[in-house]
Amino acid sequence: MNWYNKKNWRLFTRSSYPRAMPIARTTMIVESHWRVLKHNYKYHYNRPRLDHLNHIITGCLIPDMLNTWQLYKNNRSYPSWWKVFKTDWRKCLDAERLESYHVDVDKWICSCPAFINSPYLVCKHLIQTYATSNPDVPQFKTTIRRHDYPFIYFGSDDPPRIHSINTPWNHIRQSSSNEPETMLEVSGKSESSGSSTRARVDTIENKKAVLAKDKRIFEMLNSIVEQNIDNDNFFAEYMRLRQNLVDDTIACNEALNARTQQRTWQPPRNRKLAFWLR
């Protein structure tokens, strides 16, 4: 699913969407997790066995994540965004405040354009208003970034991450009275998924039939070449025509036996067939 389009943008951005979607449910977090796994732990193994992959996750990835969490918890280390956040905070604190905008520190919102464009939702109006009663720079352990009001919360207690009026369970309670309609929708979705599965199976069977036909054609071609092995012109033209297919086959074999990941934008040996291997 592509989240960066107008239809799905409102599902994961910071907004008052009534059916809030947890950020851990989005494909962006999953893709980021797999990127860390492949580039930091699996770079020597292109296609590891399942037991080896399980050992990498349980023996390397999870212990490192727990160690990083303990460092964050004990103030021994900080995430990458915290340094930029403090830098932006000090810049906004020292900036000259010329214009006046609507500022609400309790909800942590401001009507200025800088607030909308800031990746951390900070601006000089909010920070300078907040600094009148709290002059010190906030600490990491007491700074909580949220996806609902207030967007940034400062305190030792941990408030609910989703406001009660925006919790998705409200929608589930409201739709409980429409259970028969929901059952009909679920049954319709199951029928459509079953038809798509059957269509996929039919497509695979058609591909197998094409491969079987190609195998017979290649055997016939090999027999014809053996019968005309003494024809130099025929054999030279055959060698010219087969070269691309042979090169792609060698590239596929090298990709399957490689111990490193394929490059993203350039296929191995400049052959496009091996680029699509999984």
Please give, one letter per residue, the 3-state secondary structure of 20-74: CCCHHHCHHHHHHHHHHHHHHCCCCCCCCCHHHHHHHHHHHHHHHHHHHHHHHHC
Look up tokens 């809030």; give the residue. Answer: 20
What pLDDT, on the 0 to 100 scale, is given for residue 64? 92
Phi, psi of 98 (to 5 degrees): -100, -50
Residues in a beta bridge with 170:
none
pTM higher than the cut 0.75: no
Mean pLDDT score, 158-177: 57
pLDDT at 270 over 80: no
The predicted-structure confidence for 2-33, as pLDDT tens digits, reads as follows 656 666 665 555 544 445 555 555 677 778 88
What pLDDT, on the 0 to 100 scale, is given for residue 224? 92
pLDDT: is 183 or 60 the higher one?
60
